[in-house]
């Protein structure tokens, strides 16, 4: 078989590259992206991973939660992002209620990969059977534990998870089981830094943190929060990188470098 575009396959970041980065202790930088212009800019700066997050429901569409986001919208925004990038690895969220059974999850993951062009899909929570079903079909999966924004109506507020021993043990156990089910990446959101450090050390797959301390294998932030253009209050774990920058590209570069050098997050951004 001939690979049609060797230049493409030579430059695009792969899941193997991310795994090597974990093994070599090189931090992984990740930002959310929702459109072509930001995608091109983030890609140009050299950020390793872009996440087409369902946070677009809040920062782009102006909803209070991520729940109204549809699979059509995720496929559309994913396509906008992947069309404009040359190098970064791209993940997209399966939105609320689009992975209620293995078959439904597979149908929607196929849309994000085929229409949206993403390399991996992300789903929230300990859904071992669904992860394993997708992986067996050839769909790379990013798991997401800790604070699960799609469960906000059960949680009541966006608060730190895993603060007591039982909660922490459950998150740790779920992380191991998701890895066993075949997940190749884990996002840990809003958990104590000590817990995130333990999970990162215990897993072979890369762990990307948001509000999870500096010892994860990488960091992700919502783009609009770190540029301080989001609606409402910026979360405590995020940082305004525009403050010391003279351009948007400069702020993104400062974030990327701070992640690589482990200058971000500092203790004030951790729990
Ligand atoms: O939707 C999103 O942007 C996310 C990040 C907060 C991790 O899931």
Q: What is the mean pLDDT of each run of 10 residues along the chain (271 residues)?
A: 52 97 98 98 98 98 97 98 98 98 98 98 98 98 98 96 97 98 98 98 98 98 96 92 98 98 96 96
C-alpha to C-alpha distance for 42 and 50, rounded to whole angstroms: 8
Ligand 1 atom nearest residue 220's Cα: 7
Active-site residue among 73, 124, 189, 253?
189
Instruction: Tell me what pLDDT residue 232 has.
Output: 85
Ligand 1 interacting residues, C-beta cut-off 6 A = 32, 51, 53-55, 93, 187, 189, 210, 220, 222
Type and span of the H or E element at 187:
strand 185-189
Residue nearest to atom 6 of ligand 1 (CA): 222
C-alpha to C-alpha distance for 104 and 129, rounded to whole angstroms: 13
Q: Is 44 a catalytic residue?
A: no
C-alpha to C-alpha distance for 222 and 68, rounded to whole angstroms: 18
Type and span of the H or E element at 143:
strand 141-146
Ligand 1 atom nearest residue 222's Cα: 3
Q: What is the model's pTM?
A: 0.96
Type and span of the H or E element at 91:
strand 89-93
Instruction: Indicate the CATH number of 13-269 among 3.40.50.1440, 3.40.50.1240, 3.20.20.60, 3.40.50.1820.
Output: 3.20.20.60
């Amino acid at each position: 078989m001939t690979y049609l575009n060797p230049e493409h396959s030579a430059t695009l970041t792969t899941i193997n590259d991310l795994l090597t980065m974990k093994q070599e202790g090189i931090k992984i930088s990740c930002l959310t992206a929702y459109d072509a212009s930001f995608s091109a800019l983030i890609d140009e700066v050299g950020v390793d991973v872009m996440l087409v997050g369902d946070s677009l429901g809040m920062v782009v569409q102006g909803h209070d939660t991520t729940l109204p986001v549809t699979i059509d919208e995720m496929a559309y925004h994913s396509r906008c992002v992947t069309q404009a990038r040359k190098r970064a690895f791209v993940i997209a969220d399966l939105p609320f209620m689009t992975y209620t059974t293995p078959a439904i999850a597979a149908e929607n993951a196929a849309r994000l990969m085929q229409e949206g062009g993403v390399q991996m899909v992300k789903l929230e929570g300990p859904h071992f059977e669904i992860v394993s079903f997708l992986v067996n079909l050839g769909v790379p999966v990013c798991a997401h534990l800790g604070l699960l924004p799609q469960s906000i109506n059960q949680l009541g507020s966006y608060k730190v998870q895993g603060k007591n021993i039982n909660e922490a043990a459950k998150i740790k156990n779920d992380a191991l089981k998701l890895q066993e089910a075949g997940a190749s990446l884990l996002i840990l959101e809003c958990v104590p830094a000590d817990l995130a450090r333990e999970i990162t050390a215990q897993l072979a797959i890369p762990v990307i943190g948001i509000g999870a301390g500096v010892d994860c294998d990488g960091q992700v932030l919502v783009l609009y929060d770190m540029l301080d253009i989001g609606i409402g209050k910026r979360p405590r774990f995020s940082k305004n990188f525009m403050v010391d920058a003279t351009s948007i590209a400069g702020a993104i570069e400062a974030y990327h470098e701070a992640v690589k050098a482990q200058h971000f997050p500092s203790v004030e951004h951790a729990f």
